[in-house]
A = this chain, B = another copy of it.
Amino acid sequence: MSEKPIVKSADSFPADVVGAGTGTTRQVLISDQDAPNFALRRFIMEPGGGMPKHTNSVEHEQYILRGSASVGIADEIFKVTAGDAVYIPQGVPHWYDADAEEGFEFLCIVPNKEDVIQLCDNGC
Contacts and interface: CB of A to CB of B under 8 A. Distances in A.
Contact of A5 (B6, B30, B73): B73
Given A30-B87, A61-B30, A107-B107, A78 B7 contact: yes
A5 B36 contact: no
Nearest to A1: B89
Interface string A42-85: 10000000000000000101010100000101101010100111
A63 B39 CA distance: 12
23 contacts: A5-B76, A5-B88, A7-B71, A7-B78, A7-B85, A7-B86, A8-B85, A9-B84, A10-B83, A10-B85, A11-B83, A13-B85, A29-B85, A30-B87, A34-B87, A38-B109, A38-B111, A40-B63, A40-B85, A42-B63, A63-B107, A65-B65, A109-B109
Interface of A: 3-11, 13, 29-30, 34-38, 40, 42, 59, 61, 63, 65, 71, 73-74, 76, 78, 80, 83-89, 92, 107, 109, 111
Given A6-B87, A7-B85, A40-B61, 9 more contacts: A3-B89, A7-B78, A7-B84, A8-B85, A9-B84, A35-B59, A37-B38, A37-B111, A63-B107
